[in-house]
Structure 1
Amino acid sequence: MEHISFVGAGPGAPDLITLRGQARLREADIVIWASSLIPEEMLGWTDDKAVLMDSAEMTLEDVLLVFENNPGARIVRLHSGDPSVYGAIQEQISWCEAHDRPFEIVPGVTSISAAAAAVGRELTIPEVAQSIVTTRVARRTSASMPKGESLSGYAQLGGTIAVLLSGAHPQRIVDELLSEGSKFSASTPAAVVVRASWPDEQVALTTIGELVSTISDLGAKRTLLVLIGEVLTTTDIRRSHLYSPSFSHRFRSRSEPGTTSGRAKRRANRTVH
């Protein structure tokens, strides 16, 4: 019985899939992919004989039927981004476990990583933000949000927030970010990234107060990600302890500022053949 591979396709660019993900696509007999979220170019990694199925028109039951009817096939369930984040794979995993079907999860580059790259900023800066919250606002799917998990609640903590799957509700995003007790204000920096890493990627730096108009100007509601936090624009950067001469750890001894540690000197003096 062959494995079912839940593969993260990454944020969109075909070359941002992992090497393991590429290998699984090359080996696959059947690939179930979401055409609305994954560019068709990604299928260029597949064999010409592979059966390609678009999950955009499939229900969970349709997908599970493919699993059930093809126990000897190498199946790739190709998800956008990383399948463990809003990938809806747990119900598929539960089926695999209930039917003793081997499976694996192949991680993928998240849209958050791609958005940070597009903006050109680190999302965790010492003394500015050391936490990243990934969340969304819900309307039609509000029943799936656990009690206590809300954007307004996370806004009371500050840090960096990534809001996914919420482009259709920009005013709701603003209202929750600026709710009572929030660490944010209308002037807090924000970034809107549409279709991160795709050829038609759009990036707009703005503020929470201008977020609604910014999203409206971009004209996008889907494949849209909002980043919130001071890390997006701060110039008051505190040096990280990680590479500070005065900070030691198991791989590097402490040294005086302006000098190079003994191990680093030895490595620098090595001749590369």
Structure 2
Amino acid sequence: MKGKVVFIGGGPGDPELLTIKAYNVIKAADIIIYAGSLVNKEILNCSKKSARIYNSASMDLREIIDLMEKETNNGLTVARVHTGDPSIYGAIGEQIRELKNRKISYEIIPGVSSLFATAAALEAELTLPEISQTVIITRPEGRTPKPDKEHISSLARHQATMCIFLGVHMIKDVVKDLLEYYPPHTPVGVVKKASWEDEFVVRGNLENIAQKIEKAGITKTALIVVGNILDPGDFKASKLYDADFTHEYRNAHKLK
């Protein structure tokens, strides 16, 4: 009987942000392959003593898939642990394609993204009424190319809440692109290692954030959030709890 691969969102760093479902799979898994450069190894503390653990940071795609094939053919469960939620820059698409080609069973368990741990660290709602109702998740172009229409300067045209992964090491270029459409005073928050014990937050605006990040020495494992939701001032409350708004579960209060 063949085993299967379970892709797991390991969360942003805090072991307590691992989902119960992911915890149960890690606890029972025979083989664990985790993204060691990003995943907090403490989340693997629940694994059984007999589990064999591999750090994928030193492995290429073929080595990972070959290992998955070998162990699932032996009827074992392979937990493939990614940081945050694996659907965002998790490189699971290429792994799934290979598993399909080799007819290896798999499933995916979502996780808490570093984006949401970052929002929590910034004490921010990313979608405030009449401030921004759109969240753009992107990254600057590096060694991984991007479609031309997804250049940060093009996305900045919307002036929505923008969450930028994998870009803090090129913060000056990111800011230059953002300034194509965002005003210089637009608030920016940068969170390094959101939810980890050594989490570090830097706040500023597009005029000064590059200097602040350079001074802080942040070059990786940080997420950039841009938009007026970080400093909205006064804003209108949503209709969700408005006493004068009727919806399926509540009637509006009648004026006397």
- Shared fold by TM > 0.5? yes
Contact kept in structure 2, 1:7 and 1:108, CA below 8 Å: yes
- Correspondence list, 1:1-273, <5 A: 1-71=2-72, 72-141=75-144, 143=145, 145-179=146-180, 182=181, 184-256=182-254
The structural deviation recorded for 1:101 is 1.6
Contact kept in structure 1, 2:141 and 2:151, CA below 8 Å: no
Aligned length: 253
Amino acid at match of 1:188: T
Amino acid at match of 2:80: R
Give CA deviations for 1:18-71 in whole Å, capped at 9, x if unaligned. Answer: 111101100100000112101121111211110000001000011001111112
State the structure with more CA Rg. Answer: 1
Q: Post-superposition, which runs of at least 4 consecutive aligned residues in structure 1 deviate over 6 A?
A: none
Partners of 2:155 and 2:112 in 1: CA distance: 24
Partners of 2:62 and 2:225 in 1: CA distance: 35
The percent identity for this pair of structures is 35
SS at match of 2:207: helix
SS at match of 2:7: strand
Contact kept in structure 1, 2:122 and 2:189, CA below 8 Å: yes
Contact kept in structure 1, 2:69 and 2:104, CA below 8 Å: no
Give the structure 2 partner of residue 271 of structure 1: none
> What are the ranges of 5 or more consecutive residues in structure 2 without an aligned counterpart?
none
Give the structure 2 partner of residue 269 of structure 1: none
SS at match of 2:210: helix
Partners of 1:190 and 1:196 in 2: CA distance: 15
The structural deviation recorded for 1:191 is 0.3
Contact kept in structure 2, 1:123 and 1:231, CA below 8 Å: yes
Amino acid at match of 1:117: A
Give CA deviations for 1:160-212 in whole Å, capped at 9, x if unaligned. Answer: 00010011101111110012xx1x11110000100000111000110011121
Amino acid at match of 2:192: V
Partners of 1:171 and 1:152 in 2: CA distance: 13
> What are the ranges of 5 or more consecutive residues in structure 1 without an aligned counterpart?
260-273
**What TM-score comes out, normalization by structure 1 length?**
0.90
Q: Kindly report the root-mean-square deviation, in angstroms, between the aligned alpha carbons of the 2 structures.
A: 1.3
Contact kept in structure 2, 1:137 and 1:163, CA below 8 Å: yes
**What TM-score comes out, normalization by structure 2 length?**
0.96
